[in-house]
């Protein structure tokens, strides 16, 4: 089919039929080859970017997008069916039934993996938006090898997309998952997808601003792992953002607790205490993201950001750990410019940093 290109209609038809029947085969090699075959059929029948011309991104409802080989009708229906079946797996499902379901899902994952590896991401752009929820949902599975295939598909999609319109729809799908999923592992995968998408489209200000906003919101997630991942993801993107955005994050720094503050907490319910802890941790992580965004340089606001964290002494263990790690990472990454820190920072600021991080060496 790759040799015959547009003349290989009969080959494309055979390949589509055989790939569809083997997409959920019992052999991983067969599933992978079936996914690759579906990519070649999609390439044969879908508009792509040629000679620098920006062809409108096809969707399932685009006129003329349906192919004579049934890819456009088959794949979206299969993805929707698999998402429903996988998300609502019965506890009474036998091991054989679960394996068969995961094999079919994995076949679809390989379809997206090879669309990116073969440089055909624009040919399958119309399938990506509706498939992101399925690719994210598999991240909560207990099979590490199966999860790895899903992670690989998500990373390749985020780093291979070239059309902004497709990336915006993928971003919207990830946002919907963040807002609706009850699984923290799925939300964590959505955060990682947004991070990679933000780096891939760092020059697209509208899309990047949207991603930064979603990561900022995710720092208030109820699960610490998601909050911390959002913090680190945001730190990487802040390097390309205006300084006003960074200063806004630093301005959120919580004030040190007053004496008797913990006694007042005793009057609150457990739910109120948990909410207050998450909110305070989110504010600390916002400042931490600003600090981590400049691992070697010393912008004017760095002293205020680091000392704002170092002054927070009487904190809950989770918050205390985040502060200690951030200040420690700052000291280690700025060892080469520490003479400049001593020369420009006030004695009180240096004392706070020293007390918070203790003795640090470059190799610690």
pLDDT digits (tens, 9 = 90+) for 338-350: 899 899 999 998 8
Q: Residue 188 corresponds to which tokens in the numbers above?
A: 């964590």
Measured distance CA(240)–CA(219) in Å, rounded: 19
Of 217, 218, 208, nearest in space to 238 by CA: 208
Higher-pLDDT residue of 20 and 237 is 237
Measured distance CA(62)–CA(211) in Å, rounded: 27
Output the pLDDT for position 15: 85
Measured distance CA(307)–CA(118) in Å, rounded: 49
Output the pLDDT for position 322: 94
Question: How much is the average pLDDT of 202-216?
Answer: 95
Lowest mean pLDDT of 185-189, 252-256, 266-270, name the range: 266-270
The 10s digit of each residue's pLDDT in 27-71 is 999 999 999 988 888 777 654 444 344 444 444 344 333 444 556
Measured distance CA(201)–CA(217) in Å, rounded: 20
pTM, two decimal places:
0.85
Output the pLDDT for position 126: 74
Residue 358 burial by CB count (10 A; 0-12/13-18/19+): exposed, middle or buried?
exposed
CA distances from 95 to 99, 215, 290 (A): 6, 37, 47
Higher-pLDDT residue of 90 and 150 is 150
Measured distance CA(158)–CA(17) in Å, rounded: 29
Measured distance CA(306)–CA(295) in Å, rounded: 12
Return mean pLDDT, the chain: 85
Are the CB atoms for 157 and 128 separated by under 8 Å?
yes
Output the pLDDT for position 5: 67
Look at the alpha carbons of 29, 32, 38, 40 in this order and tell me if their dihedral is positive or negative.
Answer: negative
Helix 184-200 and helix 125-137: axis angle, to 10°? 140
Are the CB atoms for 193 and 177 separated by under 8 Å?
no
Are the CB atoms for 220 and 249 separated by under 8 Å?
no
Measured distance CA(33)–CA(21) in Å, rounded: 12
């Amino acid at each position: 089919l790759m040799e015959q290109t547009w003349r290989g209609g009969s080959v494309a038809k055979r390949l589509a039929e055989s790939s569809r029947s083997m997409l959920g085969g019992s052999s991983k090699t067969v599933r992978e080859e079936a996914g690759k075959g579906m990519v070649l059929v999609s390439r044969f029948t879908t508009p792509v970017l040629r000679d620098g011309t920006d062809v409108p991104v096809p969707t399932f409802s685009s006129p003329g997008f349906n192919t004579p080989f049934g890819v456009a009708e088959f794949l979206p229906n299969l993805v929707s069916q698999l998402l429903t079946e996988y998300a609502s797996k019965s506890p009474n499902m036998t091991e054989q039934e679960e394996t068969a379901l995961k094999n079919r899902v994995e076949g679809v994952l390989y379809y997206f993996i090879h669309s990116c590896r073969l440089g055909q991401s624009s040919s399958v752009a119309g399938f990506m938006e509706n498939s992101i929820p399925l690719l994210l949902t598999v991240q909560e599975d207990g099979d590490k090898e199966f999860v790895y295939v899903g992670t690989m598909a998500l990373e390749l999609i985020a780093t291979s997309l070239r059309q902004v319109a497709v990336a915006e729809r993928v971003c919207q799908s990830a946002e919907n998952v963040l807002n609706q999923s009850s699984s923290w592992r799925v939300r964590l995968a959505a955060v990682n997808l947004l991070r990679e998408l933000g780096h891939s489209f760092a020059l697209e200000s509208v899309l990047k601003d949207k991603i930064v906003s979603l990561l900022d919101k995710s720092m208030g997630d109820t699960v610490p792992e998601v909050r911390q991942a959002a913090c680190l993801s945001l730190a990487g993107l802040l390097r390309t953002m205006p300084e006003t955005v960074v200063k806004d994050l630093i301005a959120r720094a919580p004030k040190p607790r007053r004496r008797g503050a913990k006694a007042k907490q005793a009057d609150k319910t457990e739910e109120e205490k948990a909410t207050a802890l998450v909110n305070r941790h989110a504010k600390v992580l916002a400042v931490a993201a600003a600090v981590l965004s400049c691992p070697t340089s010393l912008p004017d606001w760095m002293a205020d950001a680091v000392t704002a964290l170092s002054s927070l002494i009487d904190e809950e263990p989770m918050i205390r750990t985040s502060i200690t790690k951030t200040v420690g990472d700052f000291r280690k990454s700025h060892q080469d410019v520490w003479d400049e820190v001593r020369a420009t920072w006030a004695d009180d600021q240096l004392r706070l940093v020293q007390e918070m991080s203790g003795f640090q060496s470059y190799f610690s």
